[in-house]
Amino acid sequence: MNLMRRLILFLFLFSLTIVLTIPTGAFPATSFHEQNGDWYDNFGIDRNDAGTNGELPGFLPNIEHETLGENRERAYSIGQQFLTEYPNKTDRAVAILKYVQTWTYYANDTEVKSMNGVLQEEWCQNADEFAHAFNQTTGVKAPGDCDCMATLCGTIYVAAGFDTALVDCSDHEAVLIWLPEFANANDYWDIHDGKGQGWIWVEATGSANPLGWTPSDFEDGQWTAYHITNSSVFEPEPASFQPSSTSIGLDTLGIIVGIIFIVIPFIGRLIRARSSRQWL
């Protein structure tokens, strides 16, 4: 094997090593895998099943981690904009809910998503997918159901500086934020996290629902709240579908190809120059 071939092999193996050491969570959910009738994304989360007790493979509340921490993208940036534009926390909280209500509208999953031509009775978009589906410039609004709206609100409120929790009502999902100073809530909840009463309800499924309004169906408190941390770390169950650690994103592949095409000609010139000097 001549020197050029050795260098090419070294560059390829070096680039591949870099790719394989990048956590899968560093890429957005761009691929899906069907197993036992359900669709799993490349994070290993079941998009058809909310799950129980917050454990994978269900999407509740684990799908939030796809758009927080190292995985933050479009939805998180929206929250950061609100944090900058609204110094007053109450005004910020109201504005975020109004924003989501303005640019999304309620639709059943069967109206929104199909996989391989099959309409999905249950499907949860992550916050970035939902955020990319509406466009303020063109006036396009995005369809989604309660879980999609809850995940979007959850990421935005976290990014905007709020303590946030996802609410699982068995057949409904919503968001709570810690805002005890808000004056117009019909209920102030204690989710037994040590803070006491001061969590208020965020219900984005109706365009006229005010901040702090808990629907009467859920005032009995028979639901579970999951505190959202600003982290991209979660552990899938061993039995669930695992994303391949060797999956290479298109952006990363482009970088590798670029490195090869830029570096190899340069090395080739060095080798030719060295060979010419040897003949002198």
Q: What is the Cα–Cα distance from 165 to 178, expressed in whole angstroms? A: 9
Average pLDDT by stretches of 10, the chain with 280 residues: 58 45 48 93 93 71 94 97 98 98 97 95 96 97 98 98 95 97 97 95 96 97 94 53 28 44 55 50
**Residue partners of 253: CB distance under 8 A and separation at least 6:** none
Per-residue model confidence (pLDDT) at position 2? 61
Per-residue model confidence (pLDDT) at position 103? 98
Domain boundaries, the chain: 3-20+246-279, 32-228
Per-residue model confidence (pLDDT) at position 234? 67
Per-residue model confidence (pLDDT) at position 127? 97
Per-residue model confidence (pLDDT) at position 20? 38
Closest CA to 189 of 207, 156, 171, 164: 164
Answer for the pair 216, 172: CB distance below 8 angstroms, yes or no: no
Per-residue model confidence (pLDDT) at position 278? 47
Answer for the pair 146, 172: CB distance below 8 angstroms, yes or no: yes
Report, in angstroms and rounded to the nearest whole number, the Rg of the chain calculated over CA atoms. 24
Q: Which CATH class is domain 32-228?
A: alpha beta
Q: Tokens at residue 200, please? A: 């208020």
Per-residue model confidence (pLDDT) at position 266? 53
